[in-house]
Amino acid sequence: MRPNSGQDNVGICRVLVTGATGFVGRAVVAQLVARGGYEVLALTRRSTTRPVTGARYLSGGDLTTQRHWQPMLAGVNLLIHTAARVHIHNHRTVDSVAEFERVNVEGTLELAREAAATGVQRFIFLSSIGVNGVQTQVGTAFSEADPPNPHNVYARSKLEAERGLRRLAEQTGLEVVIIRPPLVYGPGVKANFADLMQAVQHGWPLPLGSVNNQRSLVALDNLVDFIVTCMTHPRAANQTFLVSDGHDVSTVELVRGLAQAAGVPTHLYPIPLWALRAGAMLLGRSNDLQRLCGNLQVDISKARSLLDWVPPISLDQGLRRAIAERRKR
């Protein structure tokens, strides 16, 4: 990556991180501060009660209301864009679809245009494996070369943003890096993964003993390390990457790994998958069951070969970190 006026004589690189209070954004901010050599600007929608010491926080509203980014982008070398609308309450309504478009597509592209005009050199965009699709066949894995097959309005909005960013890169010379992670777990994880950890820690019986699948996951530490690698690696420019821990697991193996990390026994019962699907359909939880029990594998050979990247921590280490943080909370 080329130096510019935002990098001073002692080599301090100015980085702006959006979504800086989110699960991934906060971890990126903390890692950059810990590494040193960066002036970290943490962009949030509102003030935070848990700031990372050493970062400078900017309250900039959200992606749909902020239209004057240039004062915040002055002198910035790198922009890491983790902010997005992710929650889907009713993805069939016109208003919901429009909101995903406004935030994830229009907001992202407006920010990128302002970044290019201000002299930002590289724009790292956190996308989603959902752009590839919702599942893989047994023994196969998604790769960057696969045709997109987004499965919901969130994934479609990420794909639209990716396409817009690529066009902008061609028109302006802004270097764009697109990262599509699968499920991210680690300290502070919420939603379904947090529910699964709670069930395992409390010793609740789980009807998952018959699930025979393979899923790629990515530990928060590994994802952040990959983002940092993409910040300055010359071969990352204008590339799309899939990222994971590099070790796929079945749901049964995942539950056992969580139990081992928590130091509790495992209580798995072999309920047939067809019965789980029927129950999930009755409860309106079919998508949750798919995310837990379906196949979804990703191939990270491009990240390994092009960037010489190796995930720094193992699945077991990532699970132990997630469990330890949950205990502290």
- The domain spanning residue 211 has which CATH number? 3.90.25.10
Q: Are 263 and 328 in contact (CB under 8 A)?
A: no
Same-domain status, 167 and 27? yes
Q: Residue 225 domain-assigned?
A: no
Task: Look at residue 88 in the predicted model and tell me its pLDDT.
Answer: 58
Q: Residue 300 domain-assigned?
A: yes
For this structure, is 154 an active site residue?
A: yes
Catalytic residue among 38, 57, 154, 269: 154
Residue 92 has pLDDT above 60, yes or no: no
Q: Are 42 and 51 in contact (CB under 8 A)?
A: yes
Task: Look at residue 47 in the predicted model and tell me its pLDDT.
Answer: 73
Last residue of a domain, one of 156, 180, 204: 180
Q: At what angle do helices 220-232 and 23-35 cross, to 10 degrees?
A: 60
Same-domain status, 159 and 249? no
**Angle at CA of residue 287, ends 107 and 216, nearest 5°:** 80
Q: Residue 305 domain-assigned?
A: yes
Task: Look at residue 7 in the predicted model and tell me its pLDDT.
Answer: 47
Same-domain status, 193 and 288? yes
Q: Residue 25 domain-assigned?
A: yes
CA 208 to chain centre: 26
- The domain spanning residue 60 has which CATH number? 3.40.50.720
Lowest mean per-residue pLDDT among 43-47, 230-234, 258-262? 43-47
User: Which residues lie closer than 8 Å to 271 by C-beta, 6 or more apart?
Assistant: 207, 208, 209, 210
Residue 3 has pLDDT above 60, yes or no: no
The residue range of the domain holding 266 is 189-216+245-329
What is the per-residue pLDDT across 58-85, written as a single tens digit (0 to 9) for each? Answer: 886 666 666 678 888 999 999 999 998 8
> Which amino acid makes up residue 261?
A
Same-domain status, 174 and 193? no
Q: Residue 78 domain-assigned?
A: yes
What is the per-residue pLDDT across 256-294, written as a single tens digit (0 to 9) for each? Answer: 999 999 999 999 999 998 898 998 899 888 888 888 889
> Which amino acid makes up residue 86?
V
Q: Residue 231 domain-assigned?
A: no
CA 255 to chain centre: 22
Same-domain status, 117 and 204? no
C-alpha 230/C-alpha 303 separation (Å) is 10
Give me the number of domains the chain comprises.
Answer: 2
Task: Look at residue 178 in the predicted model and tell me its pLDDT.
Answer: 98
Burial of 271 per CB tally in 10 Å (0-12, 13-18, 19+): middle
Same-domain status, 134 and 208? no
What is the per-residue pLDDT across 113-168, written as a single tens digit (0 to 9) for each? Answer: 999 999 999 999 999 999 999 999 888 999 999 999 998 999 999 999 999 999 99
